[in-house]
Structure 1
Amino acid sequence: MHILVIERDRHIASKIIDYLEAKGHQLDAVADGVAGLNLAASNGYDAVVLSWMLPRMEGPEVLRKLRLDHGIPVPVLMLSTKVELSDKIIAFRSGADDYVTKPFELPELEVRLEALVTRAQGRVTKRRLLVGDLTLDLSTLDARRAGRRLHLYPACRKLLQALMRASPAAVTRRQLEHLLWGENPPNGDLLRSQISSLRRTLDGPFEEKMIQTLPRVGYRLVPPSRPVGTLEGRSNDGEA
């Protein structure tokens, strides 16, 4: 499973990460609600572990925005010290799929996450993003344009997901930098380098280009005007 942990307590987050990674799962972690919402909305996670008490945006608000503003159905398990029924009702009405009170046992957390993911896979056997003839399967991370498989590095795949979710609207440079590097982007214009790499893979073999640069704003992804992309100088029914 690919799991996002949104937890301000570094000790708790580290324990979850160490335990689940030892079990073969892939983990990302962030310590505040706004950053957690951005990551959860831009990546195809199998599940999210979300703490109630978070800086900048608390768990229930993260959940509401994730469900209502972004329409993301990813299973979410909420962690909280709150034990009152009224608090649990708030969590579930905000969009939580499960609720675990602190302190908790790590094996139980893993079993609950596995159950949530299994149920979600039963509801939706294939989740795909689609922009024109470009598709991205969020379960397998397989990306194709006009049937041609795109071989993407992880950073480029994250950028592609964000651009596809927003298309045809723009995604700002700040949003994309935060997606890749959080609150501490590196010096220099490394985002331009990552976008160039994505362009070479996504647009390079095709006549019509999908990635557009908006000066001083960011980037956006637009569908080709033709229903099927055309490779330059060759047919489009094979892989590179």
Structure 2
Amino acid sequence: MNNQSLYILVVEDQHNIAQNISDYMENKGHVLDFATQGDQGLELALTNHYDLVILDLNLPVIDGLEVCKQLRKQANHHVPVIMLTARDSIEDKISGFTLGADDYLTKPFSLEELEVRCLALSRRYLLQTNHSLTFDQLIIDRKSQQVTRAGTPLELHSMGYRILSILAEAYPQVVSRSKLSQKLWGDEPTESDALRSHIYQLRNVLDKPFDYPMIKTMHGIGFVLNVKSDIKNDEK
């Protein structure tokens, strides 16, 4: 189930790849524009406000690296870019990141993975600009570090707030237990049951009094924020 509709520019000269992306992403509720040449893609990216750009590396007229370079130079705001390429060498990836790409996906790729990366990348940049984040009933005010659910203020301990913030920043991706522990305690050792205890306390406040749980355990993997309806982020 798609929880966020994105406005995406796809710059790809291979019709079959562009068509596959279109069929999958539009079926998920996203709105897409297309360009088949680098110069067309750059012009569209500079004149429209996209949530992100899916950019092929090998393009006619101007290649993807130059498009990304010019976009970073000319745009008056940051446009997240996922670069698509058949090249998987470290040197190529370094070139892409150096010129401003935010993520890198090697062909052939999973359309499901592409969407997850798009959602995660878009959310990452919203988190940098938005003080208030809304996930269905849940509102996280990052400025005051206050959390409400269904209009009810939640009394979270600092560790509960940190766990909830980590899951929110990662959404819709799953956060593994090891990654969560590393973000909370770094390389400092901690008791094996400490994370379990903090998750339990967080659930008692965030989930127990309400109609459905928002902390979902993915057995053997980790935790993910469980959102029932569309996400809306509001700048304050």
Q: Pick from 36, 42, 50: which aligns with 2:47?
A: 42
Q: Counterparts of 1:146-157 in structure 2 under 5 Å?
A: none
Measured in 2, the distance between the counterparts of 1:70 and 1:100 equals 23
Indicate the SS of the match to 1:53.
Answer: coil
- Say yes or no: does 1:52 pair with 2:57: yes
Structure 1 length normalisation: TM-score? 0.51
Q: Counterparts of 1:52-201 in structure 2 under 5 Å?
A: 52-125=57-130
Question: What one-letter code is carried by the residue in structure 1 that aligns with 2:87?
Answer: K
Runs of 4+ in 1 over 2 A off after TM superposition: 69-72
Question: What one-letter code is carried by the residue in structure 2 that aligns with 1:35?
Answer: Q
- Equivalent pairs: percent with the same residue? 47
Number of corresponding residues: 126
Mark the runs of 5 or more structure 1 residues left unpaired by the alignment. 127-240
Question: What one-letter code is carried by the residue in structure 1 that aligns with 2:20?
Answer: K
Measured in 1, the distance between the counterparts of 2:65 and 2:120 equals 22
- Say yes or no: does 1:27 pair with 2:32: yes
Indicate the SS of the match to 1:61.
Answer: helix
Higher RCO (Cα < 8 Å, 6 or more apart): 2
Question: What one-letter code is carried by the residue in structure 2 that aligns with 1:10?
Answer: H
Measured in 1, the distance between the counterparts of 2:115 and 2:48 equals 20
1:15 aligned partner: 20
Tell me the C-alpha RMSD between the 2 structures: 1.1
Indicate the SS of the match to 2:58.
Answer: coil
Indicate the SS of the match to 1:49.
Answer: strand
Measured in 2, the distance between the counterparts of 1:124 and 1:100 equals 25
Measured in 1, the distance between the counterparts of 2:77 and 2:89 equals 27
Q: Residues 81-134 of structure 1, C-alpha deviation per residue, up to 9 Å, x if partnerless?
A: 0111000000000100000000000000000000000001011239xxxxxxxx
Deviation at 1:72, TM superposition (A): 3.6
Mark the runs of 5 or more structure 2 residues left unpaired by the alignment. 1-5, 132-236
Question: What one-letter code is carried by the residue in structure 2 that aligns with 1:113?
Answer: C
